[in-house]
Amino acid sequence: MATFIFGHTTPDTDSIIGAISLSYLKNQLGEETIPTRQGEINPETKFILEKFGYKAPELKTSYAGESVYLIDFMERSQSPKDIDEATILGIVDHHKLGDLTTATPLEMWVRPVGCSNTIVKQMFDYYNIEIPKELAGMMMCAILSDTVIFKSPTCTKEDTKACKELAQIAQIEDYKALGMEMFNVKSDVLSATKRELVLRDFKDFNMGGKKVGVGQLEVVDLSVFDNMKDELFSEMKKLKEEGSRDTVLLMLTDIIQEGTQLLVVSDDISKIKEAFGVEIENNQVWLPKVMSRKKQIIPFLEKVF
Ligand code: MG
Ligand code: MG
Ligand code: MG
């Protein structure tokens, strides 16, 4: 019986490409695996899949009775609802230790690097398996996406090294230009509904028994949001009510100015002020140099919750 490999809910490029790259590696190693996804493909990932001629993994949201590998997450809140009825054979991830547990021993490749695909690249090297040219191109794009073309504070030397080696395999000289092309695709926010935007890269966390949702949109120019803030806020409020969340945050990240306009909807806004040591006016605040949810937002929220 095949093992399924998938990333987090509301999958990003790292989750989708990671499922494909890890599945390819596992299959080369003699396991029978199938990459899947828990949600819709975002425009950036679609661009990458089309560019390198790959199909999106199958949509699959239920895994009871199945064996699985998880990539790019280990949080219950980002898992399929029946994850407890699945057997987790392994986890490949670059996030904080999550709250999933297993009944059986498992394989874990968890490293504090900027992208899960950097770890998958290291696994290919470890097993001495060759990476096909087009797959290397997609893995390279995943690293450029997660590290915001090496600008994110999550980016390590291992990420830049893996990215450059993948670019060589993919025979892509100007990989940073391709990275910018990806972020331009990401910056096209006008063709999506406001709800789609808030949910495009959205993650729920359990913080001290409270549900906190944090979305992020990374664009090359924040002015694209100028005339839609009110509508974004009203979608955030709806999400807060519908999901019984304590707080919903939306990070509008400007990858050129390198900072984040944080939109806040919360039962207790003073907690958010305390978390970041800032004043919040009209439910928003500019946080200079803040680009990473996992490193610059979540740890500070965890502290106050
Ligand atoms: Mg991810
Ligand atoms: Mg990732
Ligand atoms: Mg990200």
Considering 184, 208, 236, which residue would you say is the last residue of a domain?
184
- Domain membership of residue 189 (yes or no) is no
**Domain count within the chain:** 2
Q: Are residues 177 and 199 in the same domain?
A: no
What is the chain's mean pLDDT, rounded? 97
Tell how far the Cα of 68 is from the centroid of ligand 3, in angstroms: 23
| Lowest mean pLDDT, pick from 71-75, 86-90, 114-118, 189-193 | 189-193
Which domain, by its residues, includes 127? 3-184
Token pair of 23 as six digits: 């599945």
**At residue 145, what is the residue type?**
S
Output the pLDDT for position 170: 98
| Lowest mean pLDDT, pick from 132-136, 185-189, 229-233, 301-305 | 185-189
Three-state SS sequence of 75-118? CHHHCCCCHHHCEEEEEEECCCCCCCCCCCCCEEEECCCCCHHH
Tell how far the Cα of 148 is from the centroid of ligand 3, in angstroms: 8
Name the 3-class secondary structure at 190. coil
User: Rounded CA gap, 141 and 157, in Å?
Assistant: 16
Tell how far the Cα of 262 is from the centroid of ligand 1, in angstroms: 19
| C-alpha gyration radius of the chain | 19
Considering 146, 164, 184, which residue would you say is the last residue of a domain?
184
Tell how far the Cα of 14 is from the centroid of ligand 1, in angstroms: 5
- Domain membership of residue 87 (yes or no) is yes
pTM, 2 dp = 0.93
Could you tell me what percent of the chain has a pLDDT over 70? 100
Tell how far the Cα of 162 is from the centroid of ligand 3, in angstroms: 18
Whether residue 1 has pLDDT greater than 90? no
Tell how far the Cα of 15 is from the centroid of ligand 2, in angstroms: 6
- Domain membership of residue 159 (yes or no) is yes
Q: Which residues surround ligand 1, an ion (CB under 5 A)?
A: 12, 14-15, 72
Sign of CA dihedral 145, 149, 153, 158: positive
pLDDT digits (tens, 9 = 90+) for 236-265: 999 999 999 999 999 999 999 999 999 999
Tell how far the Cα of 94 is from the centroid of ligand 1, in angstroms: 9
- Domain membership of residue 25 (yes or no) is yes
Q: Are residues 215 and 174 in the same domain?
A: no
Tell how far the Cα of 132 is from the centroid of ligand 3, in angstroms: 25
Q: Are residues 137 and 202 in the same domain?
A: no
Tell how far the Cα of 16 is from the centroid of ligand 3, in angstroms: 13
Considering 137, 157, 184, which residue would you say is the last residue of a domain?
184
Q: Are residues 209 and 274 in the same domain?
A: yes
Tell how far the Cα of 56 is from the centroid of ligand 2, in angstroms: 17
User: Rounded CA gap, 126 and 150, in Å?
Assistant: 24
What's the count of helices (H) and strands (E) in the chain, helices before strands?
A: 11, 11
